[in-house]
Amino acid sequence: MSRSTALGVPVTAPAGRRLSTPFTALVGYTLRACLPIRRWFGVLLPCAGALLFGWLSASDSRSAEAAFGDVAEIGLFGLVLPLTCLVIGDAVLGADIRAGTFPLTWLSPVGFGTIVAGRWLGGWIVALVSLVPALVLATVVAGVPEGAGAMAIAGAAGSAAYIGLFVMIGAAVRRAAVWSLAVVFLGERLLGGVLSGIAQISPMWESQQVYAGLADDHGGGLLLRTGTPNGWSAVVRLAIVAVVTLAVASWRVRHLKPTGGDE
């Protein structure tokens, strides 16, 4: 039977699937629209790099734990984790803002916090299905399978915080990739290397300390850093970093003046 809406649009179309809730739609949009094929290459490339680091570690003549400790510190937590999260974190919000497609989401009754959380969750899901398995596989390939669980937790917690950080940067500045790289390599790597205060809020150092604390008996202890929380305390610290960065991102999105792609 024919109906008409307020738009005067005739009802001839099939009912279709049930419409999602706003939050589900936001997560779905993040997975479908924010990460096109090219971005997936950007995600999977460092993941492949993680496996190479694992093999590199396996070929080392030292004990598997000692070799993997070095590779994990420099390669996995120092490069693969931040770079993969940068690609994901920038894609889920910063790239959308720069492309001019963000007004589609902004112009809705959905709260800014929900928007940011939905985007972040979408990005984190991507990290959980790509980065975390790659890190775990690298640990196994390196000959330290006992550390795989700790690596999974470190990867999940570290990517949660990192994606939050990059979402925040994407909402705050236009050249998000440049700023993100500066934060990782100048802020975290250089300053965090010498200043414990920075290391304590650095996803790079804290995710490393998650592994160090949880895999203490399997070579992780070699990575322990004094003055920085480790193990589950570091997981809590990373969760706090994620929450704070998302709160700042929400505040920033509230004050955003999104422009169209041609402007």
Partner 1 sequence: MAAVPEPTTPEPPAAPPPPPAAGASGAAPTTGRAEAWPPPPPPPPSGRPDPAFVADATVAVRGASVWFGQKVALTDLSCSFGPGVTGLLGPNGAGKTTLMRAIVGLLRPNEGDVAVLERDPHTDRGVQRSIALVPEDEAVPAALSARELVRYTAALHRVRDRSLPDRCLDTVGLVDVADRKVRGFSKGMRQRAKIAAALVTEPRILVLDEPLNGADPMQRVALIDLFQTLGRQGRTVIVSSHVLHEVERLAGRQIVIIRGRLAAAGDHRAIRDALADRPRSVLVRTPEARRLAGHLVGMDAVRGVTVDGNTVVVSSPRAGELAELLPVAARQAGARLREVRPLDDSLESVFRELLR
Interface residue list for partner 1 (CB under 8 A):
4-22, 24-26, 28-29, 32-33, 36, 99-101, 103-112, 254, 257-263
Residue type, 217: D
Q: Judged by CB, which is closer to partner 1: 27, or 242?
A: 27
CB of 37 to partner 1, least distance (A): 8
Q: Judged by CB, which is closer to partner 1: 114, or 233?
A: 114
**Rounded distance, CA 14 to CA 155, Å?**
44
Q: Judged by CB, which is closer to partner 1: 115, or 199?
A: 115
Residue type, 139: T
Contact 204, 183 (CB under 8 A): no
Q: Judged by CB, which is closer to partner 1: 8, or 227?
A: 8
CB of 9 to partner 1, least distance (A): 4
- Nearest Cα to 165, choosing from 78, 223, 248, 222? 248
**Rounded distance, CA 52 to CA 75, Å?**
10
Q: Judged by CB, which is closer to partner 1: 197, or 260?
A: 260
Q: How far is CA 137 from CA 73, 143, 210, 220, 247, in A?
A: 16, 10, 17, 16, 33
Q: Which two tokens stand for residue 6?
A: 């307020």
Tokens 């497609």 found at: 101
Q: Judged by CB, which is closer to partner 1: 16, or 227?
A: 16
CB of 241 to partner 1, least distance (A): 27
CB of 17 to partner 1, least distance (A): 7
CB of 160 to partner 1, least distance (A): 24
Residue type, 30: T
**Rounded distance, CA 74 to CA 83, Å?**
13
CB of 92 to partner 1, least distance (A): 13
Burial of residue 61 (number of CB atoms within 10 Å: 0-12, 13-18, 19+): exposed
Question: Residue 182: how many CB atoms within 10 A of its CB?
Answer: 13
